[in-house]
Amino acid sequence: MSDTVGAVPCLHDAHGRQVRYLRLSVTDRCNLRCLYCRSNARTQSIPHANVLRYEEMLRLVGIAVRLGVRKIRLTGGEPFARKGFIDFLERLRSGFPSVDIRITSNGTILEEYVPRLRYLGIGAVNLSLDSFRPETFARITGREVLSDVLRALDALLAAGIRVKINAVALRGINDGDLGDFFHFIREHPVDVRFIEFMPMGSDTCWSEDNFWAADDVLAAAGAYGQLEAVARGDDEAGPARMFHVSGARGRFGVITPLTNHFCASCNRLRITSDGWLRTCLFADREYYLRGILRHPDLGDANVRNVIEAANLKQPLCVEILRARGSGAVAHKQMLGIGG
């Protein structure tokens, strides 16, 4: 259902949540092989013909904006790995000047684009960086490209672009690295967020042994600085629980999709690069927008109707988690959804 809040249109779900945020995956291809992001089994990439063209993505964004979406995060796969991504960003910016555009990237091939990101007024970049140690980084991502990510990070900060670092919390893998992250935020105005490892998709390496719960991360973090909780209501925090750290320019936080789900405040929709709408990260029910977009007799109103109807059926993640038992929280791997 869409309504207006003041003069601004707004998409509501059946639980009273307002949707203002779209995560759009521009590709499921990635130049890294992060162990948390994909199944151990070989999986096929989405065939090119099924990947939405940039024009189709722009059309979808237009529909979403008319429904009240105000923030768009471009994700993947690795968004910068898709040809023409920076030109797409430019078209997005000129078509939707008031939308807050953000990007989630692994940072490996981003550095050269920083001047254009700045010129385009990209609000913030989330960088995935699970370790500052070359061996641990390579163990997690499958590639020895940490120095490329660090150069991109420096370039973003030098350009004045807000950066958040996302690290997946992996017990036995990067749990000895907290000191490096605290060292970093002492010097830099960056939010570091440790995300609980989610078992997304079948046959991933998730196990009780490598799951490092946020409370345990915070307990370990206490050794590196005094943490003071940031008051709720900080828009920049999103689903993260953030903490000021004494003497640091940056902040530290955790994202707790498994141990303390932030379902009640969820305000987002996801669209995959092959044009499926996903209303909840953990719910495998998806809605086929690509078919409507490409149907000669259907138009924007039909897409809009599906988005509104799907949004009304948006489930509560907490219920999915409760029913999960010990298996995966969703069938699709993260690579195909975009986080």
Determine, following the binding rule CB under 6 A, whether residue 174 of this chain makes contact with ligand SAM: no
> Smallest distance, Å, CB 231 to ligand SAM?
25
Of 167, 153, 23, the C-alpha closest to 100 is 23
| Shortest Å, Cβ 102 to ligand SAM | 11
What span, in angstroms and rounded, lies between the C-alpha atoms of 128 and 84?
Answer: 22
Among 136, 166, 273, 314, binds ligand SAM (CB under 6 A): 166
Sign of CA dihedral 168, 172, 173, 179: positive
Among 46, 89, 128, 242, which residue sits at the site for ligand SAM (rule: CB under 6 A)?
A: 128
22 near 71, Cβ under 8 Å? Answer: yes
Contact 207/326 with Cβ under 8 angstroms? no
Q: What's the min distance (Å) between Cβ of 333 and ligand SAM?
A: 8
Instruction: Specify the amino acid at residue 224.
Output: Y
Contacts of 199 (CB under 8 A, 6+ apart): 206, 327, 328, 329
What is the DSSP code string of 221-283? HGGGS-EEEPPTT-GGGTT-EEEEETT-SSEEEEE-TTTS--GGG--EEEE-TTSEEESSTT-
**What are the beta bridge partners of residue 165?**
127, 192
* Shortest distance, position 245 Cβ to ligand SAM, whole Å: 21
The span of 110-118, 193-201, 223-231, 300-308 binding ligand SAM (CB under 6 A) equals: 193-201
Order of strands across the sheet that contains 2-5: 2-5, 8-12, 18-19
Q: Which of 19, 51, 60, 200 binds ligand SAM (CB under 6 A)?
A: 200
Alpha helices (H) along the chain: 54-66, 85-95, 114-119, 134-141, 146-158, 178-187, 214-221, 289-294, 300-312, 317-324
Calpha distance 124→249 (Å, rounded): 17
- Name the residue with the smallest CB distance to ligand SAM: 339
Q: Which stretch binds ligand SAM (CB under 6 A): 131-139, 148-156, 318-326, 331-339?
A: 331-339
Among 12, 68, 106, 263, binds ligand SAM (CB under 6 A): 106
How far apart (Å, rounded) are the C-alpha atoms in residues 249 and 252?
Answer: 10
**Do the Cβ atoms of 293 and 52 come closer than 8 Å?**
yes
Helical segments of 17-145, H only: 54-66, 85-95, 114-119, 134-141
Q: Is 72 exposed, middle or buried (CB count within 10 Å of its CB: 0-12, 13-18, 19+)?
A: buried
Binding region for ligand SAM (CB under 6 A) out of 179-187, 192-200, 209-217, 231-239: 192-200
| Residue 74 interacting with ligand SAM (CB under 6 A) | no
Q: Taking CB under 6 A as the rule, does residue 36 contact ligand SAM?
A: yes
Q: Is 338 in the site for ligand SAM (CB under 6 A)?
A: yes
Distance separating alpha carbons of residues 228 and 231, to the nearest angstrom:
9
| Residue nearer to ligand SAM on the CB measure, 76 or 238 | 76
Residue 131 interacts with ligand SAM (CB under 6 A): yes or no? no
Out of 96, 182, 197, 211, name the contact with ligand SAM by CB under 6 A.
197
Of residues 273 and 303, the one with the C-beta less far from ligand SAM: 273
Segment 268 to 297, residues that bind ligand SAM, using CB under 6 A? none
User: For ligand SAM, which residue of 11, 19, 35, 37 counts as binding (CB under 6 A)?
Assistant: 37
| Smallest distance, ligand SAM to C-beta of residue 48, A | 19
Choices 155-163, 196-204, 273-281, 306-314; region in contact with ligand SAM by CB under 6 A: 196-204
109, 155, 195, 237: residue in contact with ligand SAM (rule CB under 6 A):
195
Contact range with ligand SAM by CB under 6 A, out of 13-21, 195-203, 226-234, 299-307:
195-203
Residues forming contacts to ligand SAM in the complex (CB under 6 A) are: 30, 36-37, 75-76, 78, 104-106, 128, 166, 168, 195, 197-198, 200, 334-335, 338-339
